[in-house]
Structure formats: structure tokens, C-alpha cells
Amino acid sequence: MASASKTFTRALRSTPATSAFKTATPRRFAAQGPKIHPRRGYASEAPKSSGNNTLLYGGVAALLLGGGAYYAYSSSTTANQAVKAASGEAQKATSVFTPKKEDYQKVYDAIAQKLIDEDEYDDGSYGPVLLRLGWHASGTYDALTGTGGSNGATMRFPPEGDHGANAGLKAARDFLEPIHEQFPWITYSDLWTLAAACAVQEMGGPDVHWRPGRSDRDVSYCTPDGRLPDGSKDHDHLRGIFYRMGFNDQEIVALSGAHALGRCHTDRSGFEGPWTHSPTMVTNDYYKLLIEEKWSFRKWNGPKQFQDVSTKSLMMLPTDISLTKDKTFRTYVEKYAKDQAAFFSDFSNVLTKLFELGVPFTTGEDARMAFKRTE
């Protein structure tokens, strides 16, 4: 018996099961079992009473059962926690941020504030060049093939960004880059058109109703050069360009009112000078000047352009002057020269149409929104 007890006790001290229960069992389990003297495992004599063997076996069994129960509970708890954590991470990964009107208003506000803060560009505002960016990104649309338009923001890539008509628009794209970093969920194509709408409103123009839904595309969607108006041409060229997009004569004249803003640069278009005396304010002065001012060819080394006789500080392109030479076009020029409210109404509508060309919206026109202006 002494030999058997001695063998069992040594096995108890060296078995892997004992190691497992030592590490997994809390201290309170040890307190509940029998107090075993360290030297007991090395006794040379058998216990005098068989009751002690029963106590030893019973204590070991209790300890093993208790440790196993705790291990099972602990493993189950850990597994449940892991499942919950994995489920939470999966839910986060699959959840998609769906912006609402107030989110787009925040984008508008950020652009408007940046226009206020950064007033060193040209005549004191990035507004005109932002409108030009939205205009040129949208004006590549071809109704016959369904290609081009504001959907895609393909001017990000050299083939289209390097087109002559887009010279200088890197300034507008760079201006908006920090806004995109601040709101990375908005596509570039939505951002550019929203910025153009913001620029019009912040420069005193009409509300421009806008809706999201444009996606960004890769370089393979870049449009060929030559789809935008060439200022050196005449009224036939204008009709060819704008009819291709789906505009009529009235809309062509209304869109031309964007020339109330900004100026031409010799290092971009080759032309030089502003169209009006207030190039950072949306007004109907463009039409007034076309009708009321006398225009003559400018004598200089640049391309053919006109200058006002009175101050010689303003310019008009051949396409601008052609609006007064064509009978149908002139009717609308005279209308807008007399009635700024009529111009604002038509300008707003035609800009909304322009910015939506080629966009496969999944929402209806009721999704259009008007943004609150800065105070």
C-alpha cells in the first residue's frame, strides 16, 4: 500500500492535468480542498487509516471537477465575447454612411468659408474659377452617345485636364482638395458641381438647386478634346456645341451670362481681361454691356477680341458679340439686359440642367436641394 500511495502521489505531482488545474483554478478552490503537507508525497509509510485515502481521492476529484467547470465557463465566456466583438466589427465594416442634406450643407459651408478666407485669387475670389470648373466638367456631355458630363470628374486625369479649354482649372481643383480631405465621403464630381452652385450663390446669384448622385470614374472615361466652346468662333459654333448637349437658343444665352464673372488670362485661353466691372458679382451687366456699350477690335499681339470704347478696360470674345448679331440670340440678350430677375430665374434653371448632364441619378428631381447661404 505504501508503494501504491507513493506512486499515486508522485503521479499526482507530475501529471499534466495537475498543471492545468494549478493555472486555471482560482485560489479559492485550493482553500476548499484538504491541506496537503509538501512532504506527504514522499512518505515511506502507508497512511494508518484508509479514511485518509478516501479524503485524498475525494479532494483531487473535487479540485479537478471545479477546475474543469471554471475552465468551461471561462472558455465559453471568452468565446461569446469574441463572437460579439467579431459581430460588432462586421457590422461596422458593412455599415455605409448615407449623407443627408445637412451633411451636404456642411460641405457647402466649408467651401463658402474658404472663399471668404482665401481672397487673394484674381479679382479677390475663387468663385469665378469654381463656377468654370463645374461648367467645364459638365459641358463635355454628348447627348447622342451619352458620354461626358459631370458624372466622373475625369478632368482629374491629364488627357482631359490638359485640354486647352481647361487651362488654369488646376487652381480650382487644388482649392477644393482640402474640402475633399475634410469630407472624404463625397465624390469629386459631386464636390465640383456643388462648389460651382455655392460660388454662384455666394457671389450674389440665384439659388441653384442641386442633388447628389455622381460617381467618380477612371481615365478611360476621359472625353476627347473639342467638346467645349471656343471663344474665337461665331454663333454657328455655339449652336453646334450646345445643341449637342441638348440646350436650346434661350438656354445658350442664359448660360453665356456666366461671363459676368471672372476674366480671361493670356497664359490660359490667350485672351485677356474681364467682361464686366464687377467680376466677382453675379449680375445682368454682361447683357447690358453687350447692348449699351460700343465695342471695337483690340489692337494687340493676342487673338482677336473686342474691347469697350469707353474705358478700354473690358473685353468681349467673338462668341459674345455673336449673340448680338444673331436675331434669335439677341432677343434673349435684350430680355436679360432689361430684367435681372428673369435672367436669375433662367440662369438657375439652366445651371441645374447643365450640372446634371449625363448623370444616372437613382433619385427624382424632388431630391434637389437649395443650400442656405452664409450670413
- The residues annotated with a catalytic role in the active site are 136, 275
DSSP 256-306: HGGGGS-EE-TTTTS--EESSS-TTS--SHHHHHHHHS-EEE--SSSSS-E
The three cell numbers of residue 24 are: 486555471
**Which stretch of DSSP H or E encloses residue 23?**
helix 16-24
The three cell numbers of residue 50 are: 484508509
The three cell numbers of residue 44 are: 515511506
Residue 66 Cα distances to 24, 34, 207, angstroms: 10, 14, 75
Q: Are 65 and 24 in contact (CB under 8 A)?
A: no
Cell 465621403 sits on residue? 185
Q: Which residues contact 13 (CB under 8 A, 6 or more apart)?
A: 41
Angle at which helices 327-338 and 318-325 pack, to 10 degrees? Answer: 100
Residues making up the chain, counted from first to last: 375
Sheet holding 315-316, edge to edge: 295-297, 306-308, 315-316
Give the span between the Cα atoms of 333 and 259, in whole angstroms. Answer: 13
For the stretch 232-252, what's the b/e string if a residue is b when 16 or more beta carbons lie within 10 angstroms of its beta carbon? eeebebbbebbebbebebbbb
Q: Are 290 and 319 in contact (CB under 8 A)?
A: no
The three cell numbers of residue 213 are: 448622385
Q: Which residues contact 354 (CB under 8 A, 6 or more apart)?
A: 135, 138, 139, 150, 245, 255
